[in-house]
Amino acid sequence: MNARFWILPAAFCLVLSAVDFTAEGKRWWSHIEYLASDELQGRNTGSEGHLKAARYVAGEFERSGLKPAGTSGYFQPVKFDVKQIVEDQSTLALVIGGKPKPLALGDDATLSMRGDIQEDTEAKAVFAGYGLKIPEKNYDDLAGLDLKGRIVVFLSGGPSSIPGPLKSHYSSAGERWKYLKAAGAIGTATIQNPKSMDIPWARARLARTMPSMSLADPALDDSKGLRLSITINPERADRFFEGTGHTIAEILAAADSDKPLPRFPLAASVIAHLKMKQSQVESQNVAGMLPGADPKLKNEYVVLTAHLDHVGVGQPINGDSIYNGAMDDASGIASILEIARLIHESNAKLRRSVVFLAVTGEEKGLQGSRYFNAHPTVNEKSIVADINLDMFLPLHALHYIEVQGLAESTLGDDIRTVAKEAGVDVQADKEPQRNLFIRSDQYSFIRKGVPALAFKFGYLPGSAEEKLHKEWLKNRYHAPSDDLNQPVDKTAAAQFNQIILNLAERVANANARPQWKPDSFFRRFASGS
Ligand SMILES: [Zn+2]
């Protein structure tokens, strides 16, 4: 296949035509050049830079002939509660045999502000394996443990016997907390398995004083009762296990060889005193609609999502403190803008309506998409699919598309078809332990019963491309170097955009709306199935 010119399948154009993907790739990149510029200061939720980005997207939507589909023109305003730790006035310690042993915030552990965080907490702690309860697999790490009033310490991940999407669902912060809270717990302490840490501790610790944000609407708070939330540096986790006879090395070895994890009360209790600043901000979802042409099907909506926000300005790395978020996720926003433009310019008449949705607050825990699904600007029951583009990483030529949710719904068959027509192979999620299916905005739609997909550039295990992805995560993911000065295969990005466009058109024009597969776990969220 020629990298510069790709022959489109005849099904999508009456006249066989060639698309200049090099030119398309440059157009795609031009959006990123603005959205990820230093001027926009990393587009933090509720910031001036985010508002500029929102205005840019609304302008592009208008240029592409989309109708405003927010509550205030293209905008859907979203209010957030903001909490930020005052770290130099906060302390965390373990108490063993009556002796307090202070922990160094940033080195030993960090404190999250997400939840009903209280200023003072003192509680016993229990190590509960993966801290998971998965009723349909009769799997219960909490069984037989006294968790009343306790901090639950757990290792991220889960046994390989549990299918990836199911494990991902029950590992989500809200779902996990639901069961821990029901068992009486008042707090959590997470140990990330170093094998599945996207961001090494040395870098992750730099984000600990960034403000956390949650939806101001209390009905949308899924962390009620969470008084204390700790993340433990895996290299220092033995401090928590002192006096128990257990070690982190033993626990990680069990996890890595897929043996059951030990579960035991800790000798140490946890004592925390913390100080935080609180405020409120307003941010924006941006929505535009291409109305469908079919008199009946136009009342159904295919939604294309990407997130507009990134994490803003933070601790400098190599002298740079602007976290530009070029791939995360200016790239996805640029793709939906280009797809809207290409459909507009082709004059294609799609049967269903297509909503292009740039959401806010993704980095704060999928908040903008959650808000949209709680307050949809189109009839909720008529949203038939979500196609989400978040950090699809065009780091090299496009030979494989890795798809999250591939086996869960008929959308998996659709992406297989359009990818095959473009000569690209589809791969299932190769790293289910990273929980990608629940880690971006598609999950807010899935929880409302809407079939959804998300994507990455794929690669073969052991290949040079795999190394590029691993290095990217280690060095650039949520770092200031995810900026405009990085190697990106723009032509491959344009080829990817064309496949997603073909997918959107196929779903919008199909006679039947997408369905969950009969054996999909996520089918339960769809009303009436
Ligand atoms: Zn991100």
| pLDDT tens for each residue of 404-463 | 999 999 999 999 999 999 999 999 988 877 778 888 999 999 999 999 999 999 999 999
Rounded-to-integer distance, Cα 180 and Cα 86, Å: 27
Are the beta carbons of 222 and 213 closer than 8 angstroms?
no
Query: What is the rounded CA–CA span in Å between residue 50 and residue 326?
Result: 13
CA of 253 to the centre of ligand 1 (A): 29
Alpha carbon of 479 to ligand 1 centroid (Å): 10
Helix (H) or strand (E) holding 273: strand 263-273
**Closest of 85, 79, 92, 146 to residue 121, by C-alpha:** 92
Residue 460 Cα to ligand 1 midpoint, Å, equals: 24
Distance 440 CA to ligand 1 centre (A): 8
Phi, psi of 216 (to 5 degrees): -65, -25
| Distance in angstroms (rounded) separating the CA atoms of residues 315 and 135 | 41
Q: 90 C-alpha vs ligand 1 centroid, how far in Å?
A: 27
Ligand 1 centroid, distance to 44 Cα (angstroms): 11
Q: Rounded to the nearest whole angstrom, what is the distance from the C-alpha of residue 478 to the centroid of ligand 1?
A: 6
Q: Please state, in angstroms and rounded to a whole number, the distance separating the CA atoms of residues 162 and 165.
A: 9
Q: Which is higher by pLDDT, 227 or 1?
A: 227
Q: Which residue(s) pair with 264 in the sheet?
A: 127
State the CB neighbour count (10 A cutoff) for residue 205.
18
Q: Which amino acid is at 354?
A: V
pTM of the model: 0.89
Q: What is the pLDDT of residues 473-527, one digit of tens each?
A: 999 999 999 999 999 999 999 999 999 999 999 999 999 999 999 999 899 888 6
Cis peptide, bond prior to residue 329, ω within 30 of zero: yes
pLDDT, tens only, 397-406 = 999 999 999 9
Quote the ligand 1 centre to 313 CA distance (angstroms).
14
441 Cα to the center of ligand 1, angstroms:
11
Ligand 1 centroid to residue 126 C-alpha, Å: 31
Could you report how far apart the first and last alpha carbons of the chain are, in Å?
Answer: 43
CA dist., res. 59 & res. 78, Å (int): 20
* Spatial CB neighbours of 147, under 8 Å, sequence gap ≥ 6: 126, 128, 180, 183, 184, 185
As a whole number of Å, the CA-based R_g of the chain is 23
pLDDT digits (tens, 9 = 90+) for 264-292: 999 999 999 999 999 999 999 999 999 99
User: Which pLDDT value is given to residue 527?
Assistant: 66
Taking the centre of ligand 1 as the mean of its atom positions, its distance from the CA of residue 298, in whole angstroms, is: 33
Distance 225 CA to ligand 1 centre (A): 26
Residue 471 CA to ligand 1 centre (angstroms): 16
Distance from Cα 162 to the centre of ligand 1, integer Å: 26
When the pLDDT of each residue in the chain is averaged and rounded to a whole number, the result is: 93
| Residue from 231, 315, 275 nearest 86 by CA | 275
Centre of ligand 1 to C-alpha 411, Å, is 24
| Torsion sign across C-alpha atoms 405, 131, 214, 85 | negative
Whether 450 and 515 have beta carbons less than 8 Å apart is answered as no
Q: Where does 158-227 show beta strands of DSSP type E?
A: 187-191, 212-215
| pLDDT exceeds cutoff 70 at 9 | no
Distance 328 CA to ligand 1 centre (A): 5
Using the mean position of ligand 1's atoms as its centre, give its distance from the Cα of residue 406 in Å.
Answer: 22
Separation between Cα atoms, residue 102 and residue 93, nearest integer Å: 4
Task: Tell me the two tokens of residue 154.
Answer: 């757990």
Quote the ligand 1 centre to 400 CA distance (angstroms): 22
User: Could you identify the residue written with the tokens 């990836």?
Assistant: 164
User: What is the distance in A from the centroid of ligand 1 to the CA of 268?
Assistant: 34
pLDDT one-digit tens code per residue, 124-153: 999 999 999 999 899 999 999 999 999 999
CA-wise closest residue to 93 among 129, 125, 131, 130: 125
CA of 423 to the centre of ligand 1 (A): 29
The CA distance from 264 to 251, in Å, is 12
What mean pLDDT is predicted for residues 52-62?
98
pLDDT per residue over 346-381, tens digit each? 999 999 999 999 999 999 999 999 999 999 999 988
Ligand 1 midpoint to CA 329 (Å) = 7
Measured in Å, residue 365 CA sits from the centre of ligand 1 at: 10
- Output the CA 260–ligand 1 centroid distance in Å: 32
345 Cα: distance to centroid of ligand 1 (angstroms) = 31
Could you give the CA distance from residue 195 to residue 273 in angstroms, rounded to a whole number?
A: 31
Give the distance (Å) from ligand 1 centre to CA of residue 519.
Answer: 31
- Residue 165: pLDDT band by 50, 70, 90 thresholds? confident
Q: Taking residues 390-400, report their average pLDDT.
A: 98
pLDDT in tens, 293-327: 999 999 999 999 999 999 999 999 999 999 999 99
Alpha carbon of 93 to ligand 1 centroid (Å):
30
DSSP string, 381-442: GGEEEEEE-S-----S--SEEEEETTTTBTHHHHHHHHHHHTT-EEEE-S-GGG-GGGSSTH
Q: What are phi and psi of 57, to 5 degrees?
A: -65, -40
Please tell me the distance between residue 310's alpha carbon and the centre of ligand 1 in angstroms.
6
